[in-house]
Amino acid sequence: MPASPSAAPVATDQLTFRTLGKTGLKVTSVGFGCMITSDASVIARAADSGINYFDTARVYQGGNNERMVGAALKGKRQQLYISTKTGAQDKAGALAHLDTSLKELGTDHVDIWYLHGKQTAAQLTDDLLEAQQIAKQAGKIRFAGVSLHTGHKEVIPAAIRSGKIDVILISYNFTMGTTVDELVAKAKAAGLGVVAMKVMAGGFRRMKEGDPNGAILKREGAMAAALRWVLKNPDIGTTIPSMTDMDQFEDNFRCMPAKFSPEDEKTLAAHLERISPVYCRMCSLCAGTCRKGLPVSDLLRIVTYADGYGQFALGRERYRELPDDVTSVRCGDCSSCTVECPHGVHVARRISFAQEIFG
Protein backbone atom coordinates (compact mmCIF):
# COMPACT_ATOMS: atom_id res chain seq x y z
CA MET A 1 0.00 0.00 0.00
CA PRO A 2 1.50 3.40 -0.91
CA ALA A 3 2.34 5.78 1.92
CA SER A 4 -0.22 8.40 2.82
CA PRO A 5 0.72 12.04 2.15
CA SER A 6 1.20 12.65 5.89
CA ALA A 7 3.73 9.81 6.03
CA ALA A 8 5.69 10.87 2.94
CA PRO A 9 9.41 11.29 3.63
CA VAL A 10 10.84 14.74 4.04
CA ALA A 11 14.17 15.67 2.47
CA THR A 12 16.89 15.80 5.11
CA ASP A 13 18.99 18.02 2.83
CA GLN A 14 16.62 20.79 3.88
CA LEU A 15 18.11 20.79 7.39
CA THR A 16 19.98 23.92 8.42
CA PHE A 17 21.95 24.27 11.65
CA ARG A 18 23.06 27.13 13.87
CA THR A 19 25.28 27.29 16.95
CA LEU A 20 23.47 28.18 20.16
CA GLY A 21 25.84 30.76 21.61
CA LYS A 22 28.77 29.63 23.72
CA THR A 23 26.98 26.38 24.53
CA GLY A 24 28.39 25.09 21.26
CA LEU A 25 25.21 23.12 20.62
CA LYS A 26 24.60 22.69 16.87
CA VAL A 27 20.83 22.91 16.64
CA THR A 28 18.45 22.80 13.72
CA SER A 29 17.18 26.29 12.99
CA VAL A 30 13.66 24.94 13.39
CA GLY A 31 13.19 23.06 16.63
CA PHE A 32 10.01 21.60 18.10
CA GLY A 33 7.84 23.29 20.72
CA CYS A 34 5.97 20.43 22.38
CA MET A 35 3.61 22.47 24.58
CA ILE A 36 0.36 21.70 22.75
CA THR A 37 1.36 18.44 21.05
CA SER A 38 -0.71 15.43 22.05
CA ASP A 39 0.30 13.09 19.22
CA ALA A 40 3.65 11.53 20.10
CA SER A 41 4.08 10.28 16.52
CA VAL A 42 4.54 13.87 15.30
CA ILE A 43 7.44 14.34 17.72
CA ALA A 44 8.97 11.01 16.71
CA ARG A 45 8.61 11.92 13.04
CA ALA A 46 10.40 15.20 13.60
CA ALA A 47 13.29 13.45 15.35
CA ASP A 48 13.53 10.84 12.59
CA SER A 49 13.62 13.66 10.03
CA GLY A 50 16.61 15.32 11.71
CA ILE A 51 15.07 17.96 13.99
CA ASN A 52 17.32 17.86 17.04
CA TYR A 53 15.94 20.37 19.56
CA PHE A 54 12.79 19.66 21.57
CA ASP A 55 11.28 21.95 24.20
CA THR A 56 8.83 21.09 26.98
CA ALA A 57 8.12 22.21 30.57
CA ARG A 58 7.13 20.76 33.90
CA VAL A 59 3.79 22.57 33.82
CA TYR A 60 2.70 21.65 30.29
CA GLN A 61 -0.47 19.56 30.00
CA GLY A 62 -0.80 19.26 33.74
CA GLY A 63 2.64 17.68 33.97
CA ASN A 64 1.97 15.02 31.33
CA ASN A 65 3.77 16.63 28.40
CA GLU A 66 7.24 15.65 29.58
CA ARG A 67 6.17 12.02 29.88
CA MET A 68 4.83 12.02 26.33
CA VAL A 69 7.97 13.73 24.99
CA GLY A 70 10.18 11.21 26.78
CA ALA A 71 8.24 8.30 25.31
CA ALA A 72 8.31 9.77 21.80
CA LEU A 73 12.09 10.29 21.92
CA LYS A 74 12.97 7.02 23.66
CA GLY A 75 16.00 5.43 22.03
CA LYS A 76 16.94 8.68 20.29
CA ARG A 77 18.20 10.68 23.28
CA GLN A 78 21.91 10.70 22.38
CA GLN A 79 21.27 12.43 19.06
CA LEU A 80 18.99 15.12 20.45
CA TYR A 81 18.86 18.17 22.69
CA ILE A 82 16.01 18.50 25.19
CA SER A 83 15.06 21.55 27.20
CA THR A 84 12.50 21.87 29.97
CA LYS A 85 11.44 24.58 32.39
CA THR A 86 10.48 25.24 35.98
CA GLY A 87 8.09 27.86 37.23
CA ALA A 88 9.05 27.30 40.87
CA GLN A 89 9.78 30.41 42.90
CA ASP A 90 12.53 29.05 45.14
CA LYS A 91 15.57 26.78 45.01
CA ALA A 92 14.02 23.79 46.73
CA GLY A 93 10.92 23.87 44.56
CA ALA A 94 12.93 24.25 41.36
CA LEU A 95 15.24 21.35 42.15
CA ALA A 96 12.24 19.17 43.04
CA HIS A 97 10.71 20.09 39.67
CA LEU A 98 13.92 19.11 37.91
CA ASP A 99 14.04 15.69 39.51
CA THR A 100 10.46 15.07 38.44
CA SER A 101 11.22 16.32 34.93
CA LEU A 102 14.13 13.94 34.55
CA LYS A 103 12.01 11.02 35.72
CA GLU A 104 9.17 11.85 33.35
CA LEU A 105 11.49 12.45 30.39
CA GLY A 106 13.34 9.21 31.08
CA THR A 107 16.78 10.81 31.03
CA ASP A 108 19.54 11.55 33.52
CA HIS A 109 20.00 15.13 32.28
CA VAL A 110 18.48 17.88 30.16
CA ASP A 111 20.55 20.05 27.88
CA ILE A 112 18.92 23.35 28.88
CA TRP A 113 16.89 24.06 32.01
CA TYR A 114 14.95 27.32 31.94
CA LEU A 115 13.64 29.46 34.77
CA HIS A 116 10.24 29.98 33.19
CA GLY A 117 8.17 33.06 32.45
CA LYS A 118 10.24 35.78 34.10
CA GLN A 119 9.03 39.35 33.59
CA THR A 120 11.42 41.42 35.72
CA ALA A 121 15.07 41.39 36.67
CA ALA A 122 14.08 40.90 40.33
CA GLN A 123 12.56 37.54 39.45
CA LEU A 124 16.01 36.23 38.50
CA THR A 125 16.76 35.64 42.16
CA ASP A 126 20.07 34.45 43.56
CA ASP A 127 18.15 31.50 44.99
CA LEU A 128 16.96 30.31 41.57
CA LEU A 129 20.29 30.98 39.87
CA GLU A 130 21.95 28.92 42.61
CA ALA A 131 19.53 26.07 41.90
CA GLN A 132 20.75 26.01 38.31
CA GLN A 133 24.38 25.96 39.39
CA ILE A 134 23.68 23.10 41.81
CA ALA A 135 21.97 21.19 39.00
CA LYS A 136 24.92 21.81 36.69
CA GLN A 137 27.42 20.56 39.23
CA ALA A 138 25.30 17.44 39.74
CA GLY A 139 25.29 16.75 35.99
CA LYS A 140 21.50 17.06 35.79
CA ILE A 141 21.62 19.97 33.33
CA ARG A 142 24.21 21.09 30.84
CA PHE A 143 23.17 24.71 30.46
CA ALA A 144 21.09 27.25 32.38
CA GLY A 145 18.44 29.40 30.76
CA VAL A 146 15.64 31.85 31.39
CA SER A 147 12.41 32.20 29.41
CA LEU A 148 10.26 35.30 29.04
CA HIS A 149 7.07 36.30 27.29
CA THR A 150 7.33 39.99 28.23
CA GLY A 151 9.88 42.25 29.91
CA HIS A 152 12.58 41.87 27.27
CA LYS A 153 14.13 45.25 28.06
CA GLU A 154 14.61 44.29 31.69
CA VAL A 155 15.13 40.52 31.74
CA ILE A 156 17.58 40.15 28.85
CA PRO A 157 20.12 42.65 30.26
CA ALA A 158 19.72 41.04 33.70
CA ALA A 159 20.44 37.62 32.21
CA ILE A 160 23.58 38.97 30.54
CA ARG A 161 24.75 40.71 33.74
CA SER A 162 24.25 37.60 35.85
CA GLY A 163 27.04 35.76 34.07
CA LYS A 164 25.18 32.53 34.90
CA ILE A 165 22.63 32.29 32.10
CA ASP A 166 23.68 30.42 28.96
CA VAL A 167 20.49 30.61 26.90
CA ILE A 168 17.46 32.90 26.71
CA LEU A 169 14.10 31.78 25.34
CA ILE A 170 12.09 34.80 24.23
CA SER A 171 8.84 35.65 22.49
CA TYR A 172 9.89 36.95 19.09
CA ASN A 173 7.76 37.39 15.98
CA PHE A 174 6.92 39.69 13.09
CA THR A 175 4.43 41.78 15.08
CA MET A 176 7.34 43.06 17.19
CA GLY A 177 9.29 44.45 14.25
CA THR A 178 12.83 45.43 15.24
CA THR A 179 11.94 46.48 18.80
CA VAL A 180 14.05 43.80 20.50
CA ASP A 181 16.66 43.16 17.80
CA GLU A 182 19.30 45.24 19.57
CA LEU A 183 18.78 43.28 22.79
CA VAL A 184 18.97 40.00 20.89
CA ALA A 185 22.23 41.11 19.25
CA LYS A 186 23.68 42.09 22.64
CA ALA A 187 22.73 38.71 24.08
CA LYS A 188 24.41 36.90 21.23
CA ALA A 189 27.50 39.11 21.49
CA ALA A 190 27.70 38.18 25.18
CA GLY A 191 27.72 34.51 24.21
CA LEU A 192 24.13 33.68 25.11
CA GLY A 193 22.17 31.39 22.84
CA VAL A 194 18.83 32.88 21.75
CA VAL A 195 15.79 30.67 21.18
CA ALA A 196 12.59 32.16 19.74
CA MET A 197 9.09 31.15 20.81
CA LYS A 198 5.63 32.50 19.93
CA VAL A 199 7.02 32.74 16.41
CA MET A 200 3.58 32.43 14.78
CA ALA A 201 2.18 35.42 16.70
CA GLY A 202 -0.64 33.46 18.27
CA GLY A 203 -1.29 31.13 15.37
CA PHE A 204 -4.86 32.16 14.51
CA ARG A 205 -4.85 29.46 11.87
CA ARG A 206 -7.87 27.73 13.45
CA MET A 207 -10.91 29.54 12.18
CA LYS A 208 -14.58 28.96 12.78
CA GLU A 209 -16.12 26.63 10.25
CA GLY A 210 -16.98 28.52 7.11
CA ASP A 211 -14.72 31.49 7.85
CA PRO A 212 -13.11 32.40 4.49
CA ASN A 213 -10.01 33.70 6.31
CA GLY A 214 -9.01 30.11 6.99
CA ALA A 215 -8.63 29.43 3.29
CA ILE A 216 -6.85 32.75 2.80
CA LEU A 217 -4.28 31.94 5.49
CA LYS A 218 -3.65 28.51 4.02
CA ARG A 219 -3.30 29.87 0.50
CA GLU A 220 -1.13 32.82 1.41
CA GLY A 221 1.03 30.87 3.86
CA ALA A 222 0.93 33.36 6.72
CA MET A 223 2.23 30.86 9.26
CA ALA A 224 5.19 29.82 7.11
CA ALA A 225 5.92 33.46 6.31
CA ALA A 226 5.92 34.24 10.04
CA LEU A 227 8.48 31.50 10.69
CA ARG A 228 10.68 32.62 7.81
CA TRP A 229 10.55 36.16 9.24
CA VAL A 230 12.11 34.91 12.48
CA LEU A 231 14.67 32.76 10.69
CA LYS A 232 15.99 35.71 8.68
CA ASN A 233 17.60 37.06 11.86
CA PRO A 234 21.00 35.33 12.15
CA ASP A 235 21.15 36.15 15.87
CA ILE A 236 18.34 33.67 16.55
CA GLY A 237 19.84 30.28 17.34
CA THR A 238 16.70 28.21 16.87
CA THR A 239 12.92 28.43 16.95
CA ILE A 240 10.31 26.31 18.71
CA PRO A 241 7.04 26.58 16.79
CA SER A 242 4.23 24.51 18.25
CA MET A 243 3.17 21.58 16.08
CA THR A 244 0.16 19.34 16.56
CA ASP A 245 0.00 17.33 13.34
CA MET A 246 2.08 16.11 10.41
CA ASP A 247 0.95 18.91 8.09
CA GLN A 248 2.18 21.59 10.50
CA PHE A 249 5.47 19.74 10.95
CA GLU A 250 6.05 19.49 7.21
CA ASP A 251 5.14 23.14 6.61
CA ASN A 252 7.60 24.24 9.31
CA PHE A 253 10.30 21.81 8.18
CA ARG A 254 10.27 23.27 4.68
CA CYS A 255 10.94 26.75 6.07
CA MET A 256 14.51 25.92 7.08
CA PRO A 257 16.27 26.47 3.74
CA ALA A 258 13.74 29.02 2.47
CA LYS A 259 14.43 32.76 2.32
CA PHE A 260 12.10 35.48 3.53
CA SER A 261 10.65 37.11 0.40
CA PRO A 262 8.89 40.33 -0.59
CA GLU A 263 5.76 38.22 -1.00
CA ASP A 264 6.14 37.04 2.60
CA GLU A 265 6.36 40.71 3.65
CA LYS A 266 3.05 41.45 1.92
CA THR A 267 1.41 38.39 3.44
CA LEU A 268 2.45 39.35 6.95
CA ALA A 269 1.35 42.96 6.51
CA ALA A 270 -2.14 41.72 5.63
CA HIS A 271 -2.10 39.21 8.47
CA LEU A 272 -0.99 41.84 10.99
CA GLU A 273 -3.88 44.07 9.99
CA ARG A 274 -6.29 41.21 10.60
CA ILE A 275 -4.94 40.15 14.01
CA SER A 276 -4.09 43.58 15.46
CA PRO A 277 -7.39 43.90 17.37
CA VAL A 278 -6.82 40.57 19.12
CA TYR A 279 -3.08 39.82 19.36
CA CYS A 280 -0.88 41.18 22.14
CA ARG A 281 2.65 42.00 20.98
CA MET A 282 4.07 41.61 24.51
CA CYS A 283 5.52 45.13 24.44
CA SER A 284 4.63 45.72 28.14
CA LEU A 285 3.58 49.32 27.46
CA CYS A 286 0.26 48.66 29.18
CA ALA A 287 1.85 47.36 32.39
CA GLY A 288 0.34 48.99 35.46
CA THR A 289 -2.35 50.91 33.59
CA CYS A 290 -5.36 48.78 34.62
CA ARG A 291 -7.17 50.47 37.53
CA LYS A 292 -8.00 47.02 38.90
CA GLY A 293 -4.38 45.87 38.71
CA LEU A 294 -4.98 43.14 36.15
CA PRO A 295 -1.90 41.61 34.44
CA VAL A 296 -3.12 42.64 31.01
CA SER A 297 -0.48 40.99 28.81
CA ASP A 298 -0.78 37.70 30.71
CA LEU A 299 -4.55 37.63 30.24
CA LEU A 300 -4.26 38.47 26.55
CA ARG A 301 -1.70 35.70 26.07
CA ILE A 302 -3.91 33.21 27.89
CA VAL A 303 -7.01 33.94 25.83
CA THR A 304 -4.92 33.57 22.66
CA TYR A 305 -4.18 29.98 23.66
CA ALA A 306 -7.91 29.36 23.25
CA ASP A 307 -8.86 31.23 20.09
CA GLY A 308 -5.45 31.51 18.42
CA TYR A 309 -3.87 28.12 19.04
CA GLY A 310 -7.23 26.39 19.40
CA GLN A 311 -6.20 25.08 22.85
CA PHE A 312 -9.10 25.95 25.17
CA ALA A 313 -7.97 23.53 27.90
CA LEU A 314 -4.51 25.12 28.00
CA GLY A 315 -5.98 28.60 28.27
CA ARG A 316 -8.33 27.54 31.06
CA GLU A 317 -5.48 25.84 32.92
CA ARG A 318 -3.33 28.98 32.78
CA TYR A 319 -6.27 31.19 33.78
CA ARG A 320 -7.01 29.06 36.82
CA GLU A 321 -3.40 29.40 37.94
CA LEU A 322 -3.89 33.15 38.36
CA PRO A 323 -4.50 34.48 41.90
CA ASP A 324 -8.05 35.01 43.13
CA ASP A 325 -7.67 38.79 43.17
CA VAL A 326 -7.19 38.59 39.39
CA THR A 327 -9.84 36.03 38.45
CA SER A 328 -12.48 37.68 40.64
CA VAL A 329 -12.33 40.95 38.65
CA ARG A 330 -14.83 41.57 35.86
CA CYS A 331 -14.14 44.19 33.20
CA GLY A 332 -17.85 44.86 32.94
CA ASP A 333 -17.77 46.41 36.42
CA CYS A 334 -15.79 49.37 35.09
CA SER A 335 -17.61 52.16 33.29
CA SER A 336 -14.56 52.74 31.09
CA CYS A 337 -11.21 51.10 30.50
CA THR A 338 -7.96 52.80 31.51
CA VAL A 339 -5.86 50.49 29.32
CA GLU A 340 -5.15 51.79 25.84
CA CYS A 341 -3.11 49.51 23.60
CA PRO A 342 -0.89 51.53 21.24
CA HIS A 343 -1.15 48.68 18.71
CA GLY A 344 -4.92 48.56 18.58
CA VAL A 345 -5.79 45.53 20.70
CA HIS A 346 -9.38 45.71 21.98
CA VAL A 347 -8.19 45.09 25.53
CA ALA A 348 -11.44 45.28 27.49
CA ARG A 349 -13.24 43.16 24.92
CA ARG A 350 -10.51 40.51 24.89
CA ILE A 351 -10.20 40.29 28.67
CA SER A 352 -13.99 40.20 29.07
CA PHE A 353 -14.00 37.28 26.64
CA ALA A 354 -11.36 35.49 28.74
CA GLN A 355 -13.39 36.08 31.88
CA GLU A 356 -16.49 34.74 30.17
CA ILE A 357 -15.02 31.51 28.79
CA PHE A 358 -12.62 30.66 31.62
CA GLY A 359 -14.32 32.14 34.68
Q: C-alpha angle 341/344/348, rounded to 5°?
A: 60
Distances (CA, A) of 82 to 55, 56, 350: 6, 8, 34
pLDDT at 282 over 90: no
Give the strand pairing for 26-28 and 17-19: antiparallel
pLDDT at 214 over 60: no
Beta carbons of 69 and 43 less than 8 angstroms apart: yes
164-180 pLDDT, tens digit per residue, is: 999 999 999 999 999 99
- Cβ burial of 293 (10 Å; 0-12, 13-18, 19+) is exposed
Which pLDDT value is given to residue 39?
Answer: 95
- If you average pLDDT over residues 20-28, what whole number do you get? 98
Beta carbons of 28 and 17 less than 8 angstroms apart: yes
Which pLDDT value is given to residue 269?
Answer: 93
324-347 pLDDT, tens digit per residue, is: 999 999 998 999 999 999 999 999
Domains of the chain (ranges, CATH numbers)? 12-271 (3.20.20.100), 296-358 (no CATH)
113 φ, ψ to 5°? -120, 115
- If you average pLDDT over residues 106-112, what whole number do you get? 98
- If you average pLDDT over residues 66-75, what whole number do you get? 96
pLDDT at 291 over 80: yes
Instruction: Return d(Cα 286, Cα 77) in angstroms, integer.
Output: 42
DSSP state, residue 124: S
User: Residue 111's Cα: distance from chain center in Å?
Assistant: 17
121-135 pLDDT, tens digit per residue, is: 999 999 999 999 999
Type of residue numbered 270: A
DSSP state, residue 30: B
8 φ, ψ to 5°? -60, 140
Which residues touch 37 (CB under 8 Å, ≥6 apart)? Answer: 43, 65, 68, 242, 243, 244
- If you average pLDDT over residues 24-47, what whole number do you get? 96
Beta carbons of 238 and 198 less than 8 angstroms apart: no
- If you average pLDDT over residues 199-210, what whole number do you get? 62
Which pLDDT value is given to residue 304?
Answer: 87
Which pLDDT value is given to residue 186?
Answer: 98
Distances (CA, A) of 337 to 205, 206, 227, 341, 347: 29, 29, 34, 11, 8
218-238 pLDDT, tens digit per residue, is: 445 899 999 999 999 999 999
Which pLDDT value is given to residue 138?
Answer: 98
pLDDT at 215 over 90: no
Which pLDDT value is given to residue 46?
Answer: 97
Which pLDDT value is given to residue 98?
Answer: 98
232-277 pLDDT, tens digit per residue, is: 999 999 999 999 999 999 999 999 999 999 999 999 999 999 888 9
